[in-house]
Amino acid sequence: MKALVYLGPGQKDLRDCPKPTLVDATDAIVRMRKTTICGTDLHILKGDVATCSPGRVLGHEGVGVIDSVGAGVTAFKTGDRVLISCISACGRCEPCRKGMYSHCVHGGWILGNSIDGTQAEFVRIPFADTSLYPIPEGADEEALVMLSDILPTGFECGVQNGKVAPGSTVAIVGSGPIGLAALLTAQFYSPAEVIMIDLDDNRLAVAKSFGATHVVNSADGKAAATVMTLTGGRGVDTAIEAVGIPATFNLCEELVAAGGTIANIGVHGVKVDLHLEKLWSRNVTITTRLVDTSSTPMLLKVVHAKRIDPQRLITHRFELARILEAYETFGRAATTKALKVIIQA
Ligand SMILES: NC(=O)c1ccc[n+]([C@@H]2O[C@H](COP(=O)([O-])OP(=O)(O)OC[C@H]3O[C@@H](n4cnc5c(N)ncnc54)[C@H](O)[C@@H]3O)[C@@H](O)[C@H]2O)c1
Ligand SMILES: [Zn+2]
Ligand SMILES: [Zn+2]
């Protein structure tokens, strides 16, 4: 089968790989229909994710059809259409029993990281019963690809951890797919202001159309001052970091109001300064989280009821044979205006 293989920092290729086979009784083999590329895949290619070794098939998002199941799989059978969670969960270990699936002792974020992922014709999904979701009749498969990772991530790591509340003020640093997913799901709670910050005017224009009350291009280095003006000098109740570099976490430290929360989403590959000399007296909370995908069942209902439309995040479509072009397009978003690219296997 064809698969996109990580070959070390800065290197990847579409290669012929053996089709995966069932290893454990709880496995399923899924024939991929649609997958996508995540900002985290770009972090892997930068060399930021030490657990991902050269030779790995990348990808942790997608929808497909069950090709075969192990003897221990009871919830799915060959031919079922499924949504793949970016988090594999055994459902039995202590973290899983707490709903913290991201730290499953036997799984967690392993797909396209420590085991082969979804940017391929077939993928092996461990703990299929508790890591896959049935696709409801009539559902839009492309829209559901946004539920593998970005919508639960924006919601859980950004909105829930950031305690977005009715009437509150929110700043989201990073208007990529994850920042935009946080923007869409923040609106469940009717915050009074959502200020989106990015360097890319196209992504800020998209944010405006998704319901941002203000957009700020931070290229001039004055974003903190602008947000202070917008909030009457207070800062924001919730500052969501959705980029994953020191400058944007530091900006969140400057934006957060007394009593507020900094909710980090970004994957960080280098150390970041924590300015406790400024924050110690500010009653702030700082949260970090690897998405648990515990909100996926809820988000499936919200999408099915058309309360949010994840299709709006999709800008480009490619066949798997052209996945290198898809990476190129996603990696140069400022010129290509790419958000999420759908790859058809
Ligand atoms: N915690 C988790 O479980 C989890 C899950 C998925 C993704 N992530 C991480 O979330 C982050 C965002 O993902 P994405 O897919 O949206 O990535 P992306 O690369 O598409 O988007 C990042 C955005 O940040 C903007 N940006 C870059 N530098 C900036 C700066 N100095 N100031 C303001 N904006 C800047 C870019 O223009 C871009 O729009 C990544 O770090 C990704 O790895 C975390
Ligand atoms: Zn991801
Ligand atoms: Zn577990």
For residue 221, give both structure tokens: 């280095």
Beta strands in the chain (DSSP E): 2-6, 12-16, 28-36, 62-69, 81-84, 122-125, 132-134, 169-173, 193-198, 214-217, 236-241, 256-264, 285-287, 314-319, 340-344
pLDDT (0 to 100) of residue 316: 98
For residues 114 and 32, state if they share a domain. yes
Residue whose CB lies within 8 A of the most ligand 1 atoms, among 52, 88, 178, for a mutation test:
178
In the listed set 266, 287, 308, which residue is the last one of a domain according to the structure? Answer: 287
| CA–CA gap between residue 314 and residue 24 (Å, rounded) | 35
For ligand 1, whether the C-beta of 38 sits within 6 Å is yes
Residue whose CB lies within 8 A of the most ligand 1 atoms, among 243, 289, 332, for a mutation test:
243
pLDDT in tens, 37-90: 999 999 999 998 999 999 999 999 999 999 999 999 999 999 999 999 999 999
For residues 184 and 278, state if they share a domain. yes
CB burial of residue 112 (10 Å; 0-12, 13-18, 19+):
buried
pLDDT (0 to 100) of residue 26: 98
For residues 234 and 296, state if they share a domain. no
Ligand closest to Cα of 98 equals 3
pLDDT (0 to 100) of residue 46: 92
For residues 182 and 120, state if they share a domain. no
- What is the residue with the minimal CA distance to atom 15 of ligand 1? 39
For ligand 1, whether the C-beta of 182 sits within 6 Å is no
CATH code at position 67: 3.90.180.10
pLDDT in tens, 292-312: 999 999 999 999 999 999 999
For residue 260, give both structure tokens: 């507020």
For ligand 1, whether the C-beta of 200 sits within 6 Å is yes
For residues 261 and 197, state if they share a domain. yes
CATH code at position 208: 3.40.50.720
pLDDT in tens, 195-251: 999 999 999 999 999 999 999 999 999 999 999 999 999 999 999 999 999 999 999
Residue 11: what residue type? Q
CA of 268 to the centre of ligand 3 (A): 25
108 φ, ψ (degrees, to nearest 5) = 90, -150
| CA–CA gap between residue 89 and residue 131 (Å, rounded) | 6
For residues 61 and 102, state if they share a domain. yes
For residues 135 and 162, state if they share a domain. no
For residues 23 and 122, state if they share a domain. yes
Tell me what the mean pLDDT of segment 124-149 comes to: 96
| CA–CA gap between residue 205 and residue 107 (Å, rounded) | 38
| CA–CA gap between residue 122 and residue 177 (Å, rounded) | 25
Indicate if the alpha-carbon torsion angle 44, 45, 51, 54 is positive or negative.
Answer: positive
The label of the residue with tokens 């929808």 reads 63
CA of 73 to the centre of ligand 1 (A): 35
Q: Of ligand 1's atoms, which has the minimum distance to the CA of residue 339?
A: 20
In this prediction, residue 289 has a pLDDT band, given cuts at 50, 70 and 90, of very high
Ligand closest to Cα of 44 equals 1
The residues, ordered by sequence, that sit 6+ positions from 181 with a Cβ below 8 Å of its Cβ are 146, 150, 151, 153, 154, 155, 158, 313
Domain that holds residue 251: 151-287
Ligand closest to Cα of 182 equals 1
Tell me what the mean pLDDT of segment 155-176 comes to: 98
For ligand 1, whether the C-beta of 149 sits within 6 Å is yes
For residues 177 and 283, state if they share a domain. yes
In the listed set 260, 287, 314, which residue is the last one of a domain according to the structure? Answer: 287
- What is the residue with the minimal CA distance to atom 20 of ligand 1? 176
CA of 209 to the centre of ligand 1 (A): 19
For residues 93 and 33, state if they share a domain. yes
Angstrom CA distances, 183 to 190, 206, 209, 255, 330, stand at 11, 11, 11, 17, 20
Q: Provide the mean pLDDT of the chain.
A: 97
For residues 319 and 299, state if they share a domain. yes
Beta bridge partners of 133: 83
For residues 78 and 92, state if they share a domain. yes
User: How many CA atoms lie within 13 Å of 193's alpha carbon, on the beta-carbon side?
Assistant: 20
| CA–CA gap between residue 58 and residue 39 (Å, rounded) | 12
CB 122 within 8 A of CB 67: yes
Residue whose CB lies within 8 A of the most ligand 1 atoms, among 40, 222, 272, 336, for a mutation test:
40
For ligand 1, whether the C-beta of 153 sits within 6 Å is yes
CA of 61 to the centre of ligand 2 (A): 7
SS3 content of the chain, % helix, strand, coil (to 5): 30, 25, 40
In the listed set 287, 313, 331, which residue is the last one of a domain according to the structure? Answer: 287
CB 115 within 8 A of CB 126: yes
For residue 281, give both structure tokens: 């007296």
Model confidence pTM above 0.85: yes
For ligand 1, whether the C-beta of 196 sits within 6 Å is no
pLDDT in tens, 322-343: 999 999 999 999 899 999 999 9
For ligand 1, whether the C-beta of 340 sits within 6 Å is no
CA of 127 to the centre of ligand 3 (A): 9
For ligand 1, whether the C-beta of 181 sits within 6 Å is no
For residue 154, give both structure tokens: 């924006």
In this prediction, residue 269 has a pLDDT band, given cuts at 50, 70 and 90, of confident
Q: What is the count of structural domains for the chain?
A: 2
